[in-house]
Structures are given as structure tokens and as C-alpha cells.
Amino acid sequence: MDISEIRIRLLENQRDMLRAFASLTIENCLVIRDIKVIEGPTGLFVAMPSRKLMDRCPECGGKNPLRARFCNECACPLESERGERDVRGRPRLYADIAHPIHQAARDVVQGAILAAYRAEFERSQQEGYVAQSFDDLDYHAYEEAEIGG
């Protein structure tokens, strides 16, 4: 796998653990966006783009995130432990949209993105730094609550 380009958009003054968004271009052919660089308790890690898993309300059929305690449509209470569990027994609330298939690929992707993040962070400490542009992505649309899971 030849990584052609990585773009890093640093996020400043975050109250949460999200440090940057990244986009990854593979072999000048495929771009993966919405990759997150997150500062976890044991250091930086990369989270692939994901979507919230949803299910349907038993009362009205409305769609709700698995973490919702009340239906968005009819406000009836929902069971608190819904959906599947992962291998560690934690609820699966998100599903990756794009992700490396095996550990070796995961290591390559994460290593490259974290290296690019650190380089971008270094640049940002210098005078006259201009953040890289991601043209059409609207970062304000992200909810802070999306980062966990």
C-alpha cells in the first residue's frame, strides 16, 4: 500500500481528546477522510471514520442511536443495553466506514498518520503557520459526543 498523501487539520483549544482530523490518500486513487487523531490515556491513536449504529423504537419504529435512552420520535423510554457487544463485552455503538483489514495495515496507517500529525504540530509552532485546507469539510458539524465509543 502506497500512501500518497496525508493531510492534517489540527484542532486547537479542544476540551475533549480530539486533536486533529486527517485525510489519507492511497496510491493517488482513493481518499479516506474524517480520520481522527485522538489523545487517549495511553497516548495518541487514530480512529477511522465511523457512523453511529442505530436501531428502531419498539413503539413507533423511529430510528435512534443505540446509546439513546428515550426515543427521538415518541419519547418512550428505551432499553439501556441494546445492540451487540464487542469481544471485550463493551457495547458496539459505532461501525467503521473504512478501516484497515489486518494489524499490519493498521500499524502502517496509524504510524503514518501520527507521524504526519507530529510534523504538522511542529509546523504549527512556527511563526506564519497556515493550516492546511480541506476545502469542503465542515468541522463545526461534528458533535463532541461523536468522539467516544
Binding residues for Zn ion (CB under 5 A): 57, 59-60, 62, 71, 73-74
Which pairing describes strands 94-96 and 3-10: parallel, antiparallel, or unpaired? unpaired
Task: Quote the distance between the C-alpha of residue 72 and its chain's center.
Answer: 24
Residue 71 or 116 with smaller CB distance to Zn ion: 71
By three-state DSSP, how is residue 109 classified? Answer: helix
Residue 82 or 99 with smaller CB distance to Zn ion? 82
Angle made by CA atoms 36, 143, 69, in degrees to the nearest 5: 115
Question: Minimum distance between the CB of residue 91 and Zn ion, rounded to whole angstroms?
Answer: 20
Least Å distance, CB 145 to Zn ion, is 20
Q: How far is the CB of 60 from Zn ion (least distance, A)?
A: 3
Of the pair 59, 107, the CB lying nearest Zn ion is at 59
Tell me how crowded residue 148 is: count the other CB atoms within 10 A of its CB. 12
